[in-house]
Amino acid sequence: MREQDQQIRVLYELCSMTIHILRSPPLPISFPSLSLLSSPPSSSSSPPPQISPAAFGSLFIGISVALMLFGSVTFVIGFILMPVVITLLMLFYIAAVVSSLSEFGRAILWPSPYSNNFAPDE
């Protein structure tokens, strides 16, 4: 229950930040070549600009496209690295088999004098 409350709080904060970003006025950017054509800035008492539904949809389409591109890049990197991972895995398995065979061969060819495979006589 506590984890669900934390997830709801995080989702609420994310939505709040998104709405705050959408309602904030754009930062004033002055271009030197356009300074002669631009009008002087209006008073700061003007209401914040409203965002159109098309701009809101475009924002989320841009976000989803960016996420898809990053996901695709991650998939391609994983797909390229998969043979390297499989090769390393096979090398480790081969090293384990060789190590086991060498220990088995050593046990057969040079048995330890301290190991007794027979039951003691009573």
How far is residue 19's CA from residue 50's CA, in Å, rounded to a whole number?
12
Report residue 81: phi and psi, to 5°: -80, -15
List, for residues 29-83, the tens digit of each pLDDT value: 655 555 454 555 555 556 666 778 888 888 888 888 888 988 999 999 999 999 9
pTM of structure: 0.39
**pLDDT, tens digit, for every residue of 97-121?**
999 999 988 888 888 777 655 555 5
Structure tokens at 39: 């009008």
CB 32 within 8 A of CB 69: no
Cα distance between residue 80 and residue 95, in whole Å? 24
User: Where are the chain's structural domains?
Assistant: 2-23+51-109
pLDDT over 90 percentage in the chain:
23
